[in-house]
Amino acid sequence: MSWFQCCMSEERVNRNSLKKSIKEYNDTKTLASFANLSFKSGKNRGRYTRKEIKKLGKGNILAQTFTFRELCVATNNFNDQNLLGEGGFGRVYKAFIQTTKQITAVKRLDPNGFQGDREFLVEVLMLSLLHHPNLVNLVGYCADANQRILVYEFMPNGSLEDHLFGTPSTKPPLDWNTRMKIVEGVARGLEYLHETVKPAPVIYRDFKASNILLDEEFNAKLSDFGLAKIGPIGDKSHVSTRVMGTYGYCAPEYALTGQLSTKSDVYSFGVVFLEIITGRRVIDTTKPSEQKNLISWAQPLFKDRRKFTLMADPKLEGNYPVKALYQALAVVAMCLQDEPNTRPLISDVVTALRYLAVNKDSDEDVEDESETESVSGSEFSSYSCSTSPDRNYIGESGCEEVAED
């Protein structure tokens, strides 16, 4: 599945891919060219990867280059005792870099993976050029032979997924204020990608709990930029691309047609926000059939304000401001609208979350739940979720490929 004919030799494929990537850079001289690379595997993968990073980075790649030997030492030969987690493209290890006396997280991509080269290259370039307090920092990388390894700052509190869905014995439940702090942090990260990066927005495309990392103070940072995509420029509303991501998090228009926009990220943000509030996975096959899909389960509850408290995570044990819960769920419902044009901009979400943070301890003016039969009141009239509970956007085995990048 590529732009090139199957009969072309691997060497010619690599050469043409490199030429195309460099031409794109010279034509635009912007970040936009970096996110549309297609880099093929072959016996000279390491050489071509380093060459593309050097040429496309144009001196802007400040991340350190590590040898495979250095990272073997840092991880004790990638010992399982140092294993922090496992993702779609590889495993993550805790590491100690001797030269800088720094604790880091090392992600080793599957050496035999075909898609890993593109994700690796995009991530090195993206994280070398994009800097924000809510994006993870890239310390360095390794592209020796067929090894593809990324070295990040170490995030001692692991992933949001660990805290939401891990066992209580290993991760105590997050309190309400910490959850809202995390939500605001990742929203600010998306706001930077969507509205600060120029000349075109960056669409994250893989927004989920496992890609949200937490430092020692539970400040949240987005990680794993391998699927990031440069968004539409000018008056275009979307870009068309093959569907990639995780089942349950993809926006319906993206999953069905491959049309990707910043509003696709807003939908995924809404899914994660709902996971944070409810403590439920977006897809949980261990639950009864009517509760397996989080969005389907929540959709009827959005229509009746008296049932909003039923969506709060039982682990919170009722320790949350009811008014803040109502307002948070209103934001979630707006983000989960079927039509992308009716979803809010992420900057509007940040504004709403800032208001929530300021008024986090206030429950004044909350109506008696027994007197409020629906969300049709003025505060929630535009917030009811229109997500169809019976629509199966993507097959449960994963996202369907509908078009080429």
Cite the residue boundaries of each domain of the chain with CATH code 3.30.200.20: 10-153
Does the pLDDT value for residue 357 go beyond 90? no
| pLDDT at 194 exceeding the cut of 90 | yes
Calculate the alpha carbon distances from 33 to 116, 126, 202, 247, 332 in Å: 18, 11, 12, 28, 33
Tokens in use for 237? 């509303």
Residues 295 and 387: beta-carbon distance below 8 Å: yes
d(CA 289, CA 20): 48
pLDDT on residue 9: 42
Q: Which residue has the higher pLDDT, 125 or 327?
A: 327
Q: What is the mean pLDDT of residues 54-60?
A: 53
Predicted confidence at residue 124, as pLDDT, reads 87
Domain with CATH 1.10.510.10 in the chain: 160-371
More confident residue, 345 or 28: 345
Q: Mind listing the pLDDT tens digit for each residue in 228-284?
A: 888 776 656 567 676 777 889 999 999 898 889 999 999 999 999 999 999 999 999
pLDDT at 60: 60
**Domain 10-153 top-level CATH class:** alpha beta
Average pLDDT over residues 186-201: 94
| Mean pLDDT to the nearest integer, 122-134 | 89
The dihedral sign for the CA sequence 64, 69, 70, 74: positive
Q: Which pLDDT does position 275 carry in this prediction? A: 98
Give the tens place of pLDDT for each residue, 166-193: 876 677 899 999 999 999 999 999 999 9
Sheet order of strands, 149-153 included: 64-65, 138-142, 149-153, 102-109, 90-97, 83-86
Per-chain mean pLDDT for the chain: 79
Q: Which CA distances in Å does 77 have to 85, 91, 102, 319?
A: 16, 13, 17, 45
pLDDT reported for residue 88: 64
Of 338 and 171, the one with more pLDDT: 338
pLDDT value of position 27: 36
10 Å Cβ neighbour count for 301?
19
pLDDT in the model for residue 7:
33
Q: What is the pLDDT of residues 281-317, one digit of tens each?
A: 999 999 999 999 999 999 999 999 999 999 999 999 9
pLDDT in tens, 95-124: 999 988 999 999 998 766 545 677 788 888
Per DSSP, the three-state class of 34 is: helix
Residue 12 above 60 pLDDT?
A: no
CATH architecture for the domain at 160-371: Orthogonal Bundle (1.10)
The residues that are catalytic are 206
pLDDT at 30 over 80: no
| Whole-number Å distance between alpha carbons of 78 and 176 | 37
